[in-house]
Structure 1
C-alpha cells in the first residue's frame, strides 16, 4: 500500500523517503517561475529545497506560472498534493527519493491578469523560466523573431498579453509605476547565452509597442546567463509505478533524474538572490566556457548516439551505450573531433568531463529514451553539431565523424529504420525533412542545401564529399556496418 503525497501525509511517509527538512509554513515567496515541468523541479526547485533544509533563504520560495491552457492538468495534480513533488535520483547502484516542498503556490495557467499582478508585488524579486527553446521566438539564425504570430499578437494588444514575455513587460510597467525596482529575469533553459537570448526577447517585444520602455528594460533589468545540466526524462506510468512499488509513495507527477546536477551562473541579481552556492551551484564571472563545453560534449554527444540508435531500433539511451559500436563511435568522435574544438574551461579537465558524460549516458535507471534525443533535430543540430563542425573545418581538424553524424540524421529523417520499421514524425519540420531526406538518398547534396540548418557548408567540398560517402553507405550497408567502417578508419 502506497501513501498518497500531501502535506498532511508527510509524517507518514516511508522511512526511506526524505520529507522536507523544514517547516513549509515558514516559507515566503521570492521567485515566480514560468514552466513548471520536470527539469525545473529536478533542478531549481531542488536547489531551493536544499537551501531551505539548511535554514537558509526561506523568503525565496517558488510560485509557479504558465501561459498554456494545457498546463492546467499538471497544476491540478500538484495542487492535490499541496504543491509537493517526489524527486527520485537514480544511479546504477542506488536510488534515493525525497519530497520537495520549495513551491508554495501555482497561479492558474493562462490567467494573465493574475500572473501579472503576482509579478508586480514587492516580494517577487526574481522571475525565472524553463519554457524550452521554442518559447523564446527565435528565427533560423537564433535571433529574436518579431514576426512570430504570438509576438505580433502581444505587440498589438500589450494590455492583454498571452506570452510570458508580454506578461513580464506588463508587470515591469506596473512595478515602475508603483515605484518598485524591477525583478531579475533568470533563464534556466538549455540555450546558448540564455540570459542574452531572454533579454533580446523581452526587449524585442517591448520595442514593437513602446521603444522607450524597451530601452528602460535594457538599462534596468538584469538577465544573468546560466548553464544548467541534469538528465531528466519525462514522467510516465513507469515512473509512477516504480515510486509506488519501490518507495511506497503515490505521486501523480513524480520526477525521476540522475544523481548528477550542475548549475553555473553569473552573479547579477540587483534585488538579491537565494544562496544557491550553499546548495552546490557555482557563480562565475563568465558562463560561456562552461556553456560551450556542455553544449558540445554533452548535447553534441547525445546527437552522436541518438540517430544510430534510432536507426537500429534501440529504445533506451543506456541500451544505446551498451551497444559496442555506438559507444565506440561516441568516444572516437568526442576525442578526435568534438573536444579539440572546446576552449579551456576553468578548473576543468575536458577529457575527464567526457568520461563523466559517458558514465551518465550509461545509467540504466534513468529510462531516458532514444526518441527523446532524436527529437527536434532541425533546431538542435544547428546548436549542438554545426558550430563544432564549422570550428573543426576552420581549424583544419578532423570532420569525418561529424559528417557521419549529419548523414545519420539525414538517414533517420527518411522515416524508416534499418529493419524497415516506420519512424514516427519526430520534428516540428518532419514533413519537409522527410521529403528532403528521401531526395538525398539519390542526391546527398540536397540535404546540405538546407541553408537554415547548414548555411554555406554545402560549399565545403571535403565535408560534402564525406557526407555523401557516409549517406550512400548507410543506405547500402546499414548503420552497424557503416559505424564499423568509420571505427576501422574508413
Structure 2
C-alpha cells in the first residue's frame, strides 16, 4: 500500500531538499507526540534544508504510541505537517527523523545503548509535566512516584525518562564518552532547571560519584516553545490525506505561528536552529513567563470555562464576545503586569496576536484537550501572577475565576449533568473529595488546601480564598457563560 514515502505526492507538498541518507542520529528525542512533530522536528527539517548539516533525530516513545512508531517506520520515518492559517494551508513533508525505537519492540537495552552512542549530542524531551516525576510544590524529584521507586530498585533497567537519562549518562561516563545535553521542550516553567533537579536528585540516590560527574559534564538549557498543535482527529487526517494525495497516519495539523527561544548552553554542540527561526538567548525565563501566563494561562481559563459553557473548541469560545474580552483582559490586566520583560517588549501586541491565534477557525483545538492535567498546570500558569497581585493589592478576578473554573470542571459533571472525562494525575483524589463534598463550596475549600497546587501561602490569603469561593459559587448558581460575562462589566 502506498504511503508518503512511496506515493506520488500532490505538487503543493513541500518535500525535503537535502540528502536524508547523510543524516546521523545526533539527537535522541523522548516523546514522539503531536507537538514535537510540528515544532522541534520541523525546525530541524527547515535547518537541514538551509545547511549541509547531518543533525538527524532518533524518535523514542517510552510509554504507549507503539502504533505511531510502527506507522512511522512503514513510511521511512517521513510524515506531514499541515500549517493551517485562516486563509490558506501549507503542507510540508518532514525528513529530519532518521530512526525510531520503542522499549516494547526493541527492549530497554536497545534504547539505553542508542542514547549512549558516541555521536548522540542532545537528548531532548516532550514528556509532559508528569514525565519529570517532580513534586509540583517543591520542584524536586518525587521519590514516592511509582516509576521512580521501581527505577531506584533496578536503575540499570529503568522505565522513567529520568531513569533512562541517568543510566545512559552512566554508560557514557564509564566509556569515557562526552556527555550529552539534556534539553527539555516541555511547556514547563524553567524546564531545564526542572529536568536538572529531577535528574540530579535521582542520580544522588543511586550513585553520588555519578551525580558529581553529571553536575560537572551535563548542561540543561531552558527552552520556551510555542505553537498551537491540536491532537490529530480522524477529520484532521482525512484533510491531510486530501492535501497530500495519500493517507498519513503520522500527519499533524497546527497553526502557522511558531516560536522557539533556547538558552544557548550546550555541552556537545548543537544544530543552527536559529537559521530556521529559533532564537538563542542567555536567559529564557522572561519569555517563558510571558508565554506561560499570557498564552497558557488564558488558554486554561478558556478551556475550563469554555468546556463548562458548552464550547468544544477554543475558536468557538472566541465567537462569544464576553469570552473574547475576558481572555484579553486577563492577559493585559492580570498577567502582563506580573511580568518582568526585556525593554521594548510590546505585550499589548502579543496579547492581540494571541487573540487572533485563538480565533483561527481552521484549528480545532479542543477545550477538553487543553483542560487535561490541570493540577500540574495551574501552579505555573496562574500561581505566579496570583502572588504578584496579592503582594501589590491589585485586581485578579480573572485568575480567581480561572481557578474556580478548573475546580468546577474536575467535579466530573458539566452544567447539564453529563459526565466529564477528566484526565489528571490527581483524579483519584479529586473524585474522592467530590464524592464526599458534592459540587459545593466545601469541595472548593478542600481543593484550595492542596499544597501541591496552591503551596502553603495561597490558602492562608483570605482575599484569594474568598475570591475563588465567590467565583465558584457564581459558576454553580449561574453557569460559566454568565460568570465570564460578569468579568466584562
1:194 to 166, 170, 191: 191
SS at 2:92 equivalent = strand
Check if 1:487 corresponds to 2:481. no
Q: Distance in 1 between matches of 2:303 and 2:422?
A: 15
Q: Distance in 2 between matches of 1:161 and 1:105?
A: 21
**Deviations, residues 397-430 of structure 1 (Å, cap 9, x unaligned):** 1122222222222222223322333322332323
Check if 1:224 corresponds to 2:221. yes
Does the CA contact (< 8 Å) of 1:187 and 1:198 recur in 2? yes
**2:386 equivalent in structure 1:** 389
Does the CA contact (< 8 Å) of 2:441 and 2:472 recur in 1? no
Q: Distance in 1 between matches of 2:266 and 2:285?
A: 18
SS at 2:318 equivalent = helix
Q: Distance in 2 between matches of 1:452 and 1:47?
A: 35
1:463-478 to 2 correspondences below 5 Å = 463-478=464-479
Structure 2: any 5+ residue segments left out of the alignment?
A: none
SS at 2:57 equivalent = strand
2:98 to 93, 104, 108: 104
Check if 1:60 corresponds to 2:93. no
SS at 1:17 equivalent = coil
Check if 1:458 corresponds to 2:459. yes
The Cα of 1:23 is off from its aligned counterpart by 1.9
Q: Name whichever of 46-55 and 424-433 sits farther off.
A: 424-433
**Deviations, residues 129-169 of structure 1 (Å, cap 9, x unaligned):** 11111110011313211232211222222222222222222
SS at 2:134 equivalent = coil
Structure 1: any 5+ residue segments left out of the alignment?
A: none
Q: Distance in 1 between matches of 2:167 and 2:58?
A: 18
Check if 1:14 corresponds to 2:15. no
Q: Distance in 2 between matches of 1:157 and 1:97?
A: 45
**1:154 equivalent in structure 2:** 151
The Cα of 1:434 is off from its aligned counterpart by 4.5
Q: Name whichever of 322-331 and 427-436 sits farther off.
A: 427-436
1:339 to 329, 336, 341: 336
The Cα of 1:245 is off from its aligned counterpart by 2.4
The Cα of 1:178 is off from its aligned counterpart by 2.2
2:175 to 175, 178, 200: 178
How many pairs are equivalent? 482
Does the CA contact (< 8 Å) of 1:116 and 1:170 recur in 2? yes
The Cα of 1:28 is off from its aligned counterpart by 2.1
1:132-147 to 2 correspondences below 5 Å = 132-141=128-137, 142-147=139-144
Q: Name whichever of 22-31 and 259-268 sits farther off.
A: 22-31
Does the CA contact (< 8 Å) of 2:293 and 2:331 recur in 1? no
Q: 1:482 to 1:29 in 2, by over 3 A?
A: closer
Does the CA contact (< 8 Å) of 1:312 and 1:419 recur in 2? no
**1:445 equivalent in structure 2:** 445
The Cα of 1:442 is off from its aligned counterpart by 4.4
The Cα of 1:431 is off from its aligned counterpart by 4.3
1:57-456 to 2 correspondences below 5 Å = 57=53, 59-68=54-63, 70-110=64-104, 111-141=107-137, 142-345=139-342, 347-434=344-431, 436=433, 438-439=437-438, 441-443=440-442, 444-455=444-455, 456=457
SS at 2:440 equivalent = helix
Does the CA contact (< 8 Å) of 2:323 and 2:485 recur in 1? no
Q: 1:430 to 1:146 in 2, by over 3 A?
A: closer
Q: Distance in 1 between matches of 2:62 and 2:472?
A: 42
Does the CA contact (< 8 Å) of 2:84 and 2:254 recur in 1? yes
Does the CA contact (< 8 Å) of 1:155 and 1:206 recur in 2? no
Q: Distance in 2 between matches of 1:324 and 1:261?
A: 26
Give the superposed CA RMSD: 1.8
The Cα of 1:3 is off from its aligned counterpart by 6.0
Q: 1:445 to 1:339 in 2, by over 3 A?
A: same
The Cα of 1:357 is off from its aligned counterpart by 1.0
**Deviations, residues 268-313 of structure 1 (Å, cap 9, x unaligned):** 1122111111111101110111011111001101112112211112
Q: 1:49 to 1:417 in 2, by over 3 A?
A: same
SS at 1:385 equivalent = helix
Q: Distance in 2 between matches of 1:426 and 1:163?
A: 20
SS at 1:256 equivalent = strand
Does the CA contact (< 8 Å) of 2:30 and 2:161 recur in 1? yes
Does the CA contact (< 8 Å) of 2:140 and 2:201 recur in 1? no
